[in-house]
Amino acid sequence: MSGYPRSPKILRGGLVLLDPDSGNVLRIIALQYNPETMTRSLQVKATGADSGGHSEALRLKGPAVETIKLDAEIDATDGLDSGQGTAGSLGLHPQLASIEALAHPASGELYAANAAAGAGMLEIAPAAAPLCLFVFGPNRIVPVRLTELGIVEEAFDTALNPIRAKLSLGLRVLSVDDLGFDGKGGGLFMSYLLAKEKLAGLAAAGDFQALGIAGVPVVP
């Protein structure tokens, strides 16, 4: 009797940080457990009612503003059982810090800005952050910006290191309106948009009969 087939490899979602100029990978943050649900919302960029002629009602000014919210869990138990990595001495601190770093400028950037202000520089450019990609399977690779981060630490070891936590991530998709067409981020968004158009073309087409009508009435 043949044995059971191997279980399929489950892909993990996560975040990839890139150098915005060279495209080099700076860090990969894989989610330990994929979220069970993910909430996405799209705010349409349509022309306003007061913008002019009636034909403007059918025009779109640009890509919709898409936001993504998801909850994920991380657990240091596996690392504690195997004795590998830093789980025994630091718990989940490294994993949490890698995600929290997305919400702060780098310390070097802050020191540099403070030094420039102390030298009398009037205009100081905001710190540049890495280009962040949200990856959730091969059909969803999109540039994003972290907009909110919630952390609930649920269990601790004897040194008060967190060993189990829940994360709530809020992400805003960055489109060509944010990144332009020339940069790597803009190109990645356009690939994301083109992939959606291709997938839409594969969807089964409906018909008027299913809608209970004979067709669209023609207005004389």
Q: Each residue's pLDDT tens digit in the chain (220 positions)?
A: 444 456 567 789 999 999 988 889 999 999 989 999 999 999 998 876 555 566 677 788 899 999 999 999 999 876 555 555 666 789 999 999 999 999 988 888 888 888 888 888 767 667 678 999 999 999 999 999 999 999 999 999 999 999 999 999 999 999 999 999 988 899 999 999 999 999 999 988 888 888 888 877 777 6
**The predicted structure's pLDDT at residue 49:** 56
Kind and range of the H or E element at 79?
helix 77-82
Burial of 42 (0-12, 13-18, 19+ CB in 10 A): exposed
**The predicted structure's pLDDT at residue 23:** 86
Cβ pair 144, 171 in contact under 8 A: yes
Residue 184 has a CB neighbour count (10 Å cut-off) of 17
Output phi, psi for 10, to 5 deg. -90, 125
CA-based radius of gyration for the chain? 23
Who's near 61: CB < 8 A, 6+ residues apart? 45, 46, 47
**The predicted structure's pLDDT at residue 116:** 86
CA–CA dist 142, 131 (Å, integer): 10
pTM of the model: 0.83
CA–CA dist 15, 136 (Å, integer): 9
**The predicted structure's pLDDT at residue 50:** 57
**The predicted structure's pLDDT at residue 127:** 67
Largest CA distance in the chain: 80
